[in-house]
Amino acid sequence: MNKVYVSHNNIVSALGFDSTSVVEKVKSEVTGLGLVENKALHAEPFFSSLVNTEQLQSAFRELKPKEKYTRLEQMMMVSLDKIIKSSKIALDERVGLMISTTKGNIDVLDANSPFPKERAYLSELGKVVKEFFGFKNDAIVVSNACVSGILSVALAKRYIEQNVYDHVFVVSGDVVSEFILSGFNSFQAMSNELCKPYDKYRKGINIGEVAASILVTKDDSGLPDEAMVILGEGSCNDANHISGPSRTGEGLYRSMQTAFREAKIQPEEIDYISAHGTATLFNDEMEAIAFNRMGLQEAPLNSLKGYFGHTLGASGLLETIIGMHSAHNNTLYKSLGFETMGVTQPINVINYTRQHNIQTFLKTASGFGGCNTAVIFQKLAQ
Amino acid sequence: MNAPFNISSYASIRGRKVTLNGQHLYEGSHTEFSEFIKAAYKALGVKYPKFFKMDNLSKLAFLTAEVLLKNENLNLEADNNIAIVLSNRASSLDTDRAHQASIQDKDNYYPSPAVFVYTLPNICIGEISIKYKLYSENSFFIFDRINTDHLFTSASNLLETGKADQVLCGWVDFDSDSYEAFLYLVSEKEGKPHTNQQILKLYNT
């Protein structure tokens, strides 16, 4: 079967509007998280990582929009525009568009939103993005909780394998909204401090926002230096609980098994794991169990939530892109917020940023509904 | 290319009717969905108390899957590698609106985790997976209307790559004034040929 690559990529975030400058910030251990006081979003101050509104509007104006677009649409379009241009791919019938999000334009449900309520339908979001850029095919919208971003990379690969498309542009995004904050707060899942994934003193999540986009393609010409091959992927369910992870990490374990089977490599060959690490008690523990079951306890691992917070449906794609740059730079980035081991099974959390040869990395994510995804990426043969 | 896979069975819940492989199983006279689905649950002899905690979308998806999978007589002690690929138009908007109503008024603020958890469309996949112990591939998609091309592509890939032995596919949509569920099973078992046209034909009957 032909190889499928992850290629041109972009991140629109609190740490910058292109992947390279965002990765530079991560390398310098700069976090996008800070205390936000905004009563329209949440009654109490909260830690979050927000896209700078002025910078977003200014970047969006350069696209010469003729209509009004929501904050999420602006983020997604600024991000997607960059990779459509850098890839120089004509948007013909063989080019797909995939959008991954958990809540899309859910903020338009608020009585004070200037946008019509119909804008909350995710197919509307798909149409808006499709028409803005002139894609020939309708958008495929993936909404599978917090694995959406990484799952969409796996699904784009499947579309190419089935010979439906040659290239798929994937854009992921979610915004910080009162809807989301009030919900996670009702779960008592939010930390009132900077999040500390895998740390003994972790208190829960910080919610953040980004838009990220990537080109998934079968064409090996015109790939950027950080491009990688998708070796294998799986996305399995815990079949255990709708809002809590499995105590045995069953779904994540099976997702990894599927991914390794398809990749035809052994767990020892993984040089780095970009894990989910939300900093909730149950998630981090579940991951440690699953990685141990898979024999991955010695692979260097980080969670990037300490830099961006949990960016929901975009997190998996955001973290994949950082992982690609991590591999290209042969650098393991510190798992920000981690000091004292806080899970019962041994895992190798990256406690300082350092050089390390990375040929192959594993990206994982887990979410509500018991969903999990694992994808293995490998550098191109020299 | 001839598809080597078949649609072994299909079920639907719409217009107050529950059907399996084209046969009527139940018809209600209720105007409210909540009354209708409860009556259908009872008439079909389902016993699963968690059902009553589910939101409308999950009730609809769960009961349709129940009709289909009960008929398969699965051995729940064994691994059944049945992937789930569902899609709809309204995502979880019915429950999203309920959560929004609970936070709209600052003087009457009552967000609830029991509601919030259902503000994701893929939760209904979790509900089906829990009942039938399906530790399998799963994904949820949003389209304006049923997209048989997409369902065909997704199921074919899962079966051809050996990631699943069977795929439970379909459309489960619940919006403020409408509901519709149509699910089918694809595998190497005997049945109607797994093609785009066949999916659409079964959906339209």
Q: Where are the domains of chain A?
A: 5-217, 231-379
Hey, are the CB atoms on B123 and A369 less than 8 Å from each other?
Answer: yes
What contacts B202, CB < 8 A, 6 or more positions away? B7, B10, B182, B184, B192
Measured between beta carbons, the chain B residues lying within 8 angstroms of A185 are 111
Phi/psi of residue B108, nearest 5 degrees: -140, 70
Query: What is the DSSP code string of B100-138?
Result: HHHHH-TTS----HHHHTTSSTTHHHHHHHHHHT--SBE
Q: How confident is the model over B129-154, as pLDDT tens digits?
A: 999 999 999 999 999 999 999 999 99
Class of domain B6-204: alpha beta
Q: How confident is the model over B152-195, as pLDDT tens digits?
A: 999 999 999 999 999 999 999 999 989 999 999 999 999 999 99
The answer to whether residues A331 and A356 touch, using CB atoms and an 8 Å cutoff, is yes
ipTM tops the 0.95 cut: yes
Name the residue facing A186 among B90, B100, B112 (closest C-beta). Answer: B112
A381 band by pLDDT with thresholds 50, 70 and 90: confident
Residues B99-123, buried b or exposed e (16+ Cβ, 10 A)?
bbebbeeeeeeebeeebbbbbbbbb
- Which whole number is the average pLDDT over B123-131? 98
A201: its two tokens: 């003193």
Class of domain A231-379: alpha beta
A312 vs A114: CA distance, rounded Å: 24
- Tell which of B86, B105, B116 to mutate to test the A interface (max A CBs under 10 Å): B116
Chain A: residue whose CA lies nearest to B131: A239
A225: its two tokens: 């230096």
The answer to whether residues B175 and B153 touch, using CB atoms and an 8 Å cutoff, is no
Q: Do A5-217 and A231-379 come out as alike in CATH topology?
A: yes
B199 band by pLDDT with thresholds 50, 70 and 90: very high
Domain residue spans in chain B? 6-204
Q: How confident is the model over A287-336, as pLDDT tens digits?
A: 999 999 999 999 999 999 999 999 999 999 999 999 999 999 999 999 99
- Which whole number is the average pLDDT over A149-158? 98
Hey, are the CB atoms on A144 and B138 less than 8 Å from each other?
Answer: yes
Residues A228-247, buried b or exposed e (16+ Cβ, 10 A)?
bbbbbbbbbbbbbbbbbbbe
Phi/psi of residue A179, nearest 5 degrees: -55, -50
pLDDT surpassing 60 at residue B2 = no
Instruction: Give A92 to chain B, closest Cα distance, Å.
Output: 18
Class of domain A5-217: alpha beta
